[in-house]
Chain A
Amino acid sequence: MNVPTMAELAAKGESPEILFWVGCSGSFDDRAKRVTKAFVKILNVVGIKFAVLGTEESCTGDPARRAGNEFLFQMQAMSNIQVLNGYNIKKIVTACPHCFNTIKNEYPELGGTYEVIHHSTYLQQLINEGKIKLTGGGGFKGKKITYHDSCYLGRSNNIYEAPREVLQALDADLVEMKRCRTTGLCCGAGGAQMFKEPEKGNKDINVERAEEALLTGASTIAVACPFCMTMITDGVKSKEKEAEVKVKDLAELIAEAQGL
C-alpha cells in the first residue's frame, strides 16, 4: 500500500491529482480505517496520483459547529484552510460525508474553496470512465444489498444516485428500505450525536434503522459514511444478526469485487 503525504510530494516539487481527506474516523476508528485502506488500494490499482495530509490533517470542525461551538469550528476550519491553501490544493476526495459537507459548503465562506468530491461520486466516476473494471468478481452477482442513505450525502447535498450506481456496477440485487432517498432515516449519529449518549426515548435510532434494513432480507447493508457504519453495525449487533448480515462501505465492496 502506497500512501504519499502532501509534505513528501511538495518536497519533490510535485502536486497530486487529488487530496484524499481521510477524516478523524478514517484515521483513528478501527472499523473506518479498513475503509480508508480499501479506498487507498483502489486508488493505487487505478493509478491515481493522490496524497494525504497525514499528521497535518485535523478535524474539520463539523461536530463542534453542530453542537453549537462556532468558535471551535472556525478555529479548526481556519487552520485547515491555511494548510490546504498552503499546499495549493484544488481537488479533495473524502470518504466521510460530514467532512465532505463541511469542506464543500462551509469552508468557502472562510477562504477555502476547493472542488470537493465524496468517494461515492468519485468511485462512480472511475467506474463510468472504465478505470475501475468490475468483471462480476467478488461474488455479489444476484446477492441482495440494501443501501443506507447518509443524511449528509442525501438530503444535505442531494447525492442519492452515485452510491446506488456504484452498487449496481457490482451486479448485485439492490433492494430499497421503505424509508430511502429523501425520506431516508438518519442512523442517529449526525449533529454531533456520535459523541454523546442519546437523549431519553423509547428506542435508539440506529436500532430502528437496523431493523428496517434487516427487513429487506439483504445480506449486505452498504453505507457510505463512517458514522453510519458504526451506528448500523451496532444496530445489527443489537439484533444479533452480525453473523448473517454484514455492514460494508462502498469502497470495501468495490475493493472486494476487485479482489484487493
Chain B
Amino acid sequence: MAVLQQIVFIITLAAAVFLIRKRVLRIRSNIRLGKDFEVTGDSGQRIKNTMLIAFGQQKMFKKFIPAFLHFFIYVGFLVINLEVLEFVVDGALGTHRVFAPYLGGLYNILMNVFEFLAVAVLLACVIFLLRRNVLKVARFQSAEMTQWPRMDANLILVIEIVLMTAILTMNATDQILQTRDDHYTATGSLLFSSFIIPLFQNLNTTTLVFIERFAWWFHIIGILGFALYVTYSKHLHIFMAFPNTYFAKLEPKGHISNMPVVTNEVKSMLGLTATPSVTPAEPGRFGAKDINDLSWNNLMAAYSCTECGRCTAECPANITGKKLSPRKIMMDTRDRMEEVGKSLQAGGPGLNDGKTLLNDYITKEEINACTSCNACVEACPVLINPLEIILELRRYVAMEESGSPAQWNSMFQNIETSFAPWKFSSADRFNWAKDEK
C-alpha cells in the first residue's frame, strides 16, 4: 500500500513537472516572438531594482492596506513552499515528516511559523475576495475586467484558501494521531491548528488517518495543479515580476527610445554622413502593428501583469471616460501572444492569421487618447511600461499608414513648413521680444 502511494506520488510529480515545463517553454517562445532588445546601463542598478521593487515590494506600499495583505500572501508563498520540500521527500520515500527528527525543537518553531502564515494568507485571501466581490473596489470593475479575468482572480484566491485549510486540517488531525500511533512523529504543539482539533477529536483513528492523508494529498496535488494553473493565469506575476523589474528601463520616464534606423535615414537626408547608410537590407516595420514588432521586453511585461489595475485607475484618459486603459493594453498584448502561440503549436498560421494586435485587439481610439503622462508607468508595482507599447503602435500608424488623426497630420505639416506645431511664420518667432519695450 505504501509503495503504491509512492509510485502514484512520483508519477503525479513527474506529470506536473512535464506539463509545467511544456507550458514554460511555450511562454518562452511566445516572448521570443518579440524583437531584440539591447540591455544597457548599470546592471548594479538593475539588481537593486529587482531587490527593492520585486523582492522588497517597495512600490506596493504606496497603498498600505492591500500592500500589507499582499505581503502576507507573498511571504506565505515563499516560506510555506519550504514545507513543500518535505512533502516531496515524504511522498517519494514513503516517510512521514522526514525532517522532524533532524530539526527537533526547530521543527516545531518552523511549523508554527508556517501555520501563522497559513492563517494570515487565508485571512488575506478572504479580505481580497470581499474587496473584489462585495466592496467592489473600482479598479477591479473596469470594462476590460470581463468574465474570465474576474473568474481568474477569484479562482486564485479560493484555491489559496482551500490549500491553507488543507494544511491546517492536516496538522490538526496529525496532532491527534501523534497521541494514538507511533508512526506519527511528534511535532510539539502547533498553535493554530490546535484551535480546530476539537472538530476532529471524537473521530476514530481510521477516519483521522483518512482525513490526514486526504489533506496531505489534496495539498500537494493542489500545489502542483496550482503551479500549472499559474502559467495560464495572470498570477504568473509571482515569477515574472523578478525578470521584469530587472529589465525595466533605467532612463528617466520621459525618455522615449530612439529608432536608429530612422537616425541613419535622417542623417543621410541631411547630408550628415559620408559613409553609406548602415541600414540593414530589411529594416522591418516602423513601429508596431503586431506582437512581433514589439521588443521581447514588452512581451515579457505582458506576462508580468497581474491585472491589478493601478495603472488604469491613475490614467487621466481612463478617469475621464476615454476608451484607453493601460491594463487592457497589457492584457491584449498577452492575449494576442497566447493566440499566436497556440496557433503555432497546432501548426497553424501563427502571426499570419489575418489578425493583428493593432485594430483587432487595440484600437486607434485607445492609443490616440494617451497623454504620455507616465501615470501608468509610475503606478505599476512591477515596473511594467504600457506607454512603450502605445508609442510603438502610434509609430506604426504615423509612419506606415499615415493614419494619425487629421489634426496631428496638420501639426506635422506645420512643423515641416514653419518649424512650429502651429501655423506661424518662422520669421515671426522672435517677435515676442519686439512686442514691447
Residues of A participating in the B interface, judged by any CB pair closer than 8 Å: 1, 3, 5, 22, 24, 26-28, 33, 36-37, 40, 52, 54-55, 57-59, 61, 63-72, 74-76, 78-79, 82, 101, 105-106, 109-110, 151-152, 155-158, 182-183, 185-186, 188-205, 208-209
Contacts and interface: CB of A to CB of B under 8 A. Distances in A.
B21 interface: no
A151 B371 contact: yes
A152 B266 CA distance: 26
Given A68-B394, A106-B258, A199 B375 contact: no
B42 interface: no
Contact of B267 (A68, A78, A155): A78
A221 B436 CA distance: 26
Interface in B413-435: 415-416, 419-422, 424, 426-433, 435
A218 B320 CA distance: 24
A260 B431 CA distance: 21
A68 B369 contact: no
Given A24-B421, A203-B320, 11 more contacts: A55-B429, A58-B429, A63-B411, A67-B408, A68-B394, A68-B396, A68-B404, A69-B412, A71-B399, A202-B320, A208-B316
Given A1-B433, A74-B263, A200 B365 contact: yes
B180 interface: no
Contact of B374 (A27, A76, A151, A203): A151
Contacts of B153: none
Instruction: Bin the interface of chain B by size.
Output: 35 or more
Contacts of B419: 58-59, 76
5 contacts: A63-B421, A68-B404, A69-B408, A74-B266, A78-B272
A54 B432 CA distance: 10
* Interface SS of A by simple majority: helix
B371 A70 contact: no
A105 B252 contact: yes
B111 interface: no
B251 interface: yes
B252 A158 contact: yes
A24 B38 CA distance: 34
Nearest to A151: B373
Nearest to A193: B371
Contacts of B164: none
B253 to A, nearest CB: 5
A30 to B, nearest CB: 9
Contact of A68 (B374, B377, B399, B428): B399
B372 interface: yes
A246 to B, nearest CB: 21
Interface in B313-341: 314, 316-317, 319-324
Contact of A66 (B372, B407, B420): B372
